[in-house]
């Protein structure tokens, strides 16, 4: 039986994935040299499609790494000489903070319990912090930080860098890259692809900072920003890249552009509204995230009265896979991904089945 994955990553693969994969295989693209014009054209196609999709200006490069976790490290090495600042309200924002400590930076944080969000107004960035690390969508708790709040936070702190983790939400957040210095995501969430590729959008100002830091501290050797940037100018990568992932991402981004990112964002909101409406009204379910503005549009977290494992098991019998809660909430929550790969009809079917509990 074919299953529909409503899991927050790895997730349901996008419906066009198999066709694109077939084209990749029949074109023998897995064998082409990453120093050939054929590769450079493929690479440029993906960059161009992402640039269009996310409205990334020419001041920013779009770079390919092994995973978004790798990007955490490279952002910190490139933009932080001494001190970073982190908004922490779940496992993934916490890991970004942990990375900074592991790199021997001085990491400040403003921490809130899981399920709670941040507004720009309440945030005081420490004086010497060079980089503000924001998680647009905390995959562990289903909390989003509204894009308007992220923009306000940067406007309040124009002389500090801001990095936006949009791993489990891109291309949903409409970030304004005229003010956002760097952001990143991975492909196994909203883009509906197998894992193994991270995408890093990063400004020339970050590059300059990395070049400055390099005079005194190591900014890493593998995929260091100046080398990535230089190679990106000719649509290449320093090391042999995940050509298959980059190709598939370009094709999916092209599909998204055909639909139009505005339409996709509205569909995301429409499907999210259905799920939130259901858990608000149904006996046995409630939204973990109480503040409406903080409710994620791409990962909905529901508290359950029945053990969530029972619900997950029953749903699987119906061909649907949803995620369990994260960490301490494993048995008392469901995490339901709302990515483009699952249609409104599939979301309605899920709600129908959930309604039986």
Question: Contact, 24 vs 247, CB < 8 A?
Answer: yes
Q: Does 268 bind a copy of itself (CB under 8 A)?
A: no
Shortest Cβ 182–a copy of itself spacing (Å): 16
Question: Contact, 309 vs 352, CB < 8 A?
Answer: no
Long-range interactions of 125-129: CB distance < 8 A, separation 24+: 125/85, 125/156, 125/157, 125/160, 126/83, 126/85, 128/82, 128/83, 129/83, 129/84, 129/85, 129/160
177 or 329: CB nearest a copy of itself: 329
Shortest Cβ 294–a copy of itself spacing (Å): 24
29 or 123: CB nearest a copy of itself: 29
Angstrom distance (rounded) from CA 174 to CA 4: 27
Residue 258 CA to chain centroid, in angstroms? 21
Q: Which stretch binds a copy of itself (CB under 8 A): 70-78, 288-296, 308-316, 344-352?
A: 70-78
Q: Does 238 bind a copy of itself (CB under 8 A)?
A: yes
Q: Does 186 bind a copy of itself (CB under 8 A)?
A: yes
Q: What burial letters (b/e) apply to 268-283, b meaning 16+ CB within 10 Å?
A: beebbebbbebbeeee
Q: Does 215 bind a copy of itself (CB under 8 A)?
A: no
Q: Which stretch binds a copy of itself (CB under 8 A): 142-150, 199-207, 216-224, 343-351?
A: 216-224
Two tokens, residue 194? 């197998």
Q: Does 32 bind a copy of itself (CB under 8 A)?
A: yes
Q: Does 31 bind a copy of itself (CB under 8 A)?
A: yes
CB neighbour list of residue 2: distance below 8 Å, 6 or more residues apart: 319
Q: Does 89 bind a copy of itself (CB under 8 A)?
A: no
Q: Does 241 bind a copy of itself (CB under 8 A)?
A: yes
Q: Which of 58, 104, 127, 215 binds a copy of itself (CB under 8 A)?
A: 104
Quick count: other Cβ atoms within 10 Å of Cβ 103?
A: 17
What DSSP line would sit under 12-24, residue for residue? PPPTTHHHHHHHH
Q: Does 48 bind a copy of itself (CB under 8 A)?
A: no
Residues near a copy of itself (CB under 8 A): 2-3, 5, 7, 9-13, 17-18, 21, 25, 28, 30-34, 65-70, 72-73, 76, 98-100, 102-104, 186, 188, 193-197, 217-224, 238-245, 321, 323
């Amino acid at each position: 039986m074919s299953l529909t994955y409503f899991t927050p990553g790895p997730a349901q693969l996008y419906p066009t994935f198999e066709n694109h994969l077939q084209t990749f295989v029949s074109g023998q693209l897995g064998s082409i040299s990453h120093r050939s014009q054929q590769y450079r054209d493929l690479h440029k196609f993906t960059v161009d499609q992402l640039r269009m999709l996310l409205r990334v200006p020419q001041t920013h490069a779009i770079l390919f790494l092994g995973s978004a976790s790798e990007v955490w490290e490279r952002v910190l090495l490139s933009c932080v000489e001494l001190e970073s600042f982190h908004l922490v309200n779940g496992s993934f924002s916490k890991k970004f903070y942990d990375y900074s400590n592991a790199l021997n930076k001085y990491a400040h944080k403003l921490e809130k319990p899981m399920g709670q969000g941040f507004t720009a107004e309440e945030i005081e960035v420490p004086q010497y912090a060079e980089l503000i690390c924001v998680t647009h969508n905390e995959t562990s708790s289903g909390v989003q930080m509204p894009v308007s709040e992220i923009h306000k936070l940067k406007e309040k702190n124009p002389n500090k860098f801001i990095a936006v983790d949009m791993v489990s939400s891109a291309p949903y957040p409409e970030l304004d890259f005229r003010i956002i210095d760097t952001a990143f995501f991975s492909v196994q969430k909203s883009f509906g692809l197998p894992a193994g590729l991270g995408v890093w959008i990063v400004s020339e100002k970050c590059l300059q900072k990395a070049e400055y830091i390099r005079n005194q501290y190591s900014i890493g050797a593998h995929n260091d920003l100046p080398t990535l940037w230089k190679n990106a100018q000719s649509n290449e990568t320093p090391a042999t890249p995940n050509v298959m992932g980059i190709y598939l991402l370009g094709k999916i981004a092209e599909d998204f552009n055909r639909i139009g990112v505005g339409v996709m964002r509205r569909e995301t909101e429409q499907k999210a509204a259905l799920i939130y409406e259901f858990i608000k009204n149904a006996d046995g379910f409630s939204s973990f995230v109480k503040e409406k503005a903080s409710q994620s549009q791409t990962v909905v977290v529901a508290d359950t009265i029945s053990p969530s494992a029972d619900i997950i098991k029953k749903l699987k019998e119906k061909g649907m896979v949803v995620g369990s809660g994260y960490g301490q909430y494993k048995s008392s929550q469901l995490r339901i991904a709302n990515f483009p790969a699952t249609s409104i009809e599939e979301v309605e079917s899920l709600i129908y089945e959930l309604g039986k509990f």
